[in-house]
Every structure is written in structure tokens, then in C-alpha cells.
Structure 1
Amino acid sequence: MMRVFGPVMVAVLVLGGCASSPPEHFYSLSNGLGVAAPTARAAYYIEMPAVTVPKQVTRNQLLVTTGEGRMDLLEQERWAAPPAAEIGQALSLAVSGELGTIDAFRTPVPENAPVYRISTNVQRFESAPGRYALIDAVWSVRLVGSTQVLTCRSVAQEMVGAGYDALVAGHRRAVVRIGSDIAKAVRALAAGEKSGC
């Protein structure tokens, strides 16, 4: 009888262990962003190539600051896509939505249509649950075909409540703030105004 119950008990214990594993949660920076529809024919387009992020935040798991110089990698709390892709998509939606235009990266545009290329290098992406969400980014705007480049820096820090949903919502607000800075610069350049940071 022991030979029969031995394997059965092992199987029950293994299945019980699997059932008690905590569920994984996935978060997105672009999900829920209110985006205005582009105009029927945009006066100009934007191009947003891939965003670069610090090496320590290239994984899908949330990396949170828990103390002075200490960071924890959370296996059960994950971004829906790598952080660079999440930030890039959210920024693209924020900027194109505010300008009422289209992000035409790797897409043909009408002949002679002005295209503004936006390059973004995220230098800090910090997540401190119950305290703050911070994005520190250096970005540049250049009219494609022109040698003139405007380079600026935006630091957006949002205070957040407890929990990972609140933390991600804080990062969404930070992305919108940076997107607004970029959109303001593009709008000024498109209007022929002298734009600064």
C-alpha cells in the first residue's frame, strides 16, 4: 500500500505547492492614457525611435527602492513589456495625443511633410512604493533634414500612495509631464518660434 500512496502523496504535495504560488501582476504605462484623436491631416508628424533606459531597469520585473542604496527586484510584479518599450509607447501616445499628430516612426509620410524626430534617454527611472515615482530624461527634438537640434532635460517626480497600482499611476503621470514638455518644444519649432527648455 505504501508504494501506491507514496507517488500519489508526492503528486498532491507538488500540485498543492503550485496552487499556492502568488499570482503575477502585470502593469503598463500606456494603458489608460487619455489620447486625443489626430487631426484628419496632420500639419507635421513626429518620429520617436526606441527610448534608452539605465541597465538596471531593463528587466520586466519592477525594481523598487526600499532603503538607502537598496533595491529589490519583484518577481511577481512585472511590466507588460520591457521598461524601455513601456516608456517609449507611453511617451509616443502622450506627445502625439497632445499635438494631435501621428508618430510615424518607420512609416512613410506624405512627400515634403515636416517630421520632428524625438530622441529620449531616460537617465533615472526610480520606483519607491508609498513615496515617489521618478523619471529623469534627456530628450532632443530635430526637424528631419535640418542640423538644428534642441536638447533638454525633464525631471518628473510624482508622490505616490501605498501599493504598486499607485506607483505605476505615478509613473504614468510622470510620463505625461515629460510628454507635455516635449510637445511644447515641438509645437514651438513647428510654429517657427524660438524654443528653449
Structure 2
Amino acid sequence: MQPPALQRVALGPLTLPESLRRPQLVMRLGERLEVYEQRRWIQPLDAEIADALAERLGRRLAAPVATLRQAAAAGATRRIALDVRRFESTPAMASLDVLWSIADGLGKRLADGRTEARQPCADGGEAALIAAHGANLDRLAAELAQALATLPAE
């Protein structure tokens, strides 16, 4: 089996629920969603998640991981598609629910999975919320790295 570090991995496509396809931070408060007009992501949330996940997965694989927006994705031997079903923020908790699949460079599906993660926010502040989302993405990166490690060599 080829070590995961020798695989060329690309993330994408990554889909988000319609409610999150906006530049503003969205927070669930009880049964309603609150859009914070003055608090914005640095880039579109799907790109932000893909970049953060690529960085975390790359550290676990000890190799760079490209996103589909990058030229390096063209030669990938493993492609990871992600359907983010939930990327939820509340004052007390960050939640993540992602369906994912890994395909070879030709598009043949090799593995499927689902990652669900919930991380409490230490103090309910924005920095704690971002850290909690980061911890959820760390868990997703760990599960993806484990799945890649079990795949046969290309």
C-alpha cells in the first residue's frame, strides 16, 4: 500500500446549505438564524472551509493538499468531495455534519463516509466559536486521513 503522503490529494467540490452561502456570519439562536451583517468571513465560507481543511489534512498526511481552485489539483490521484450538511454556530456550540467521498483521479469512487462533530465554545465569544469550528475540522481531517490510509495503491 502506498503511504498517504505519496498520494496527490485534492479537496472539492465542497457544497454548503443555502443558508450559509453568504459572506456574513450566521448564528443559530433558538429556532431562528441570525445573520450578523458586520461580521464576515475572509472569503466565501465554502472556500474558507476547504482551505482550512486542506491545511489540516496536509499536516496529517505530511504532504500538501490542494483545493479545486488551485492548479495543483489537476494532477490529483485522490479527490475528496464534501457535502457540508451542517456548519452551525450557536453561542455555546459549533456543529459539523459532512458527507464525504474519495475518488481516484479518474473519478472512480473508492470510499464514502460521514463525519459529525460538535465542539463546545469555551466562553461563547467569537474567538472560542472559531476555535471550536477548527476542532471540528481537525476531526474531519483525521477521519479523511484514516480513510486515505486504508485505500489500495493507485
TM (norm. structure 1) is: 0.68
Question: Percent identity, aligned pairs only?
Answer: 30
Higher strand share: 2
Structure 2 equivalent of residue 54 of structure 1: 17
Query: Is the 2:110–2:151 contact (alpha carbons within 8 Å) kept by the matching residues of 1?
Result: no
Q: Render the CA deviation track for 1:126-166: whole Å, top value 9, x for unaligned.
A: 1001x100110000112223634311100011011221111
Give the Cα separation in 2 of the matches to 1:184 and 1:80: 30
Where 2:102 maps in the other structure, the secondary structure is strand
Query: Is the 1:92–1:103 contact (alpha carbons within 8 Å) kept by the matching residues of 2?
Result: yes
Report the Cα offset of residue 102 of structure 1.
2.2
- Output the amino acid matched with 2:57: V
What is the RMSD computed on CA atoms of the aligned residues?
1.9
Query: Is the 2:94–2:129 contact (alpha carbons within 8 Å) kept by the matching residues of 1?
Result: yes
- Output the amino acid matched with 1:158: Q
Whether 1:44 aligns to 2:21 is: no
Max Rg structure: 1
Which structure 2 residue ranges, 5 or more long, are not aligned?
Answer: none
Which consecutive segments of 4 or more residues in structure 1 shift more than 4 A?
Answer: none
Q: Render the CA deviation track for 1:85-129: whole Å, top value 9, x for unaligned.
A: 1111111111121011222443254xxxx7111000100111001
Greater relative contact order structure (CA < 8 Å, 6+ sep)? 2
Give the Cα separation in 1 of the matches to 2:148 and 2:113: 12
Where 1:51 maps in the other structure, the secondary structure is strand
Of 145, 149, 153, which aligns to 1:187?
Answer: 149
Whether 1:71 aligns to 2:33 is: yes
Structure 2 equivalent of residue 19 of structure 1: none
Which structure 1 residue ranges, 5 or more long, are not aligned?
Answer: 1-41, 193-197
Q: Render the CA deviation track for 1:46-79: whole Å, top value 9, x for unaligned.
A: 0112311101011111100111x11110112211
Structure 2 equivalent of residue 123 of structure 1: 85
Give the Cα separation in 2 of the matches to 1:190 and 1:60: 39
Where 1:166 maps in the other structure, the secondary structure is helix
- Output the amino acid matched with 2:17: P
Whether 1:101 aligns to 2:59 is: no
TM (norm. structure 2) is: 0.86
